[in-house]
Amino acid sequence: MEHAQRFRVMLSCPDRRGIVAELSRHLADLGATVVAAAQFTAPLSGHFFMRYEVMADGVELTEEGLDSGLRAGMADLLQQADSSLLVRSAQFRPRVALLASKASHCVVDVLQRWRTGELDCDIVCVIANHPHIAENAGWFKVPFHHVDFKDQPKEAAFGAIDGLLDEYDVDVTVLARFMQVFPDDLAHKRAGAMINIHHSFLPSFAGARPYDQAHARGVKLVGATCHYVTPDLDEGPIIDQEVLRISHRDTPADLRRKGRLCEREALARGLRLHIEDRVFVRGNRTVIFD
């Protein structure tokens, strides 16, 4: 079966008896066969989450046709508050922009994983407030843009970034160690589509110099957190985390060196989960079907 005839179906709604049977029946009526399924009901809220991968079974299906057919068939369920449905072709490749500051390890790691096919997306540009990142983007022949944050107001700099993201029609913005705080209006504008890697095992050691904070506290684990960007700094819904064990012998520099391993892994996994439509966001929590 052609790749274009495969789809992802994501349903989120208050739980009730018969949802799985209802959705499966409508999919069958539309000519779709379920090839992978995952579901979960949150025990405290009673909210239901389902992710299906389906393919056409002897019929021609389109994303629009499958979406409209399911919405018509499940109109009563989808009219309930807090209900949502997403139908996406498996052929869809989101357009991704990478933002960076001085450190290059996360940018290079994501670009390498993209180049080797591990990340099923199109990286359309790299934007940085340090010009030397151009070299890293050049290795992978990705367009680079330097946005100066020193000689112009931050409002103007962020306006330039927002303009570039619009110009490239970006679906997902990845803050790959971009050490600037996005203004609230841009965080709202790109809510659910902007991913950050924080060099800390949040919620511990939020803000600046987290490895120094961790060293001063004497922790035995160091980590990194991949999360969605919200107006509340470092408090967005968490997608993925990674940790490494450390010891009293480690200096803050050792923690930063080891922490970079965590940052790369957490960011790559978080981005993959997002672009494969495996993440449900509900409030400040996520449900992940990996």
pLDDT band at 218 (very low <50, low <70, confident <90, very high): confident
DSSP lists the bridge partners of residue 47 as 14
The residue from 109, 234, 240, 277 that is catalytic is 234
pLDDT in tens, 253-265: 888 888 899 999 9
Catalytic residue at 234?
yes
pLDDT in tens, 86-129: 999 999 999 999 999 999 999 999 999 999 999 999 999 999 99
DSSP lists the bridge partners of residue 51 as 10, 38
User: Nearest 5°: CA angle at 226, between 54 and 117?
Assistant: 50
User: Nearest 5°: CA angle at 89, between 163 and 83?
Assistant: 85
Phi, psi of 285 (to 5 degrees): -120, 160
**CA 241 – CA 270 distance, rounded (Å):** 8
Domains of the chain from N-terminus onward: 3-89 (3.30.70.260), 95-288 (3.40.50.170)
- pTM, to two decimals: 0.92
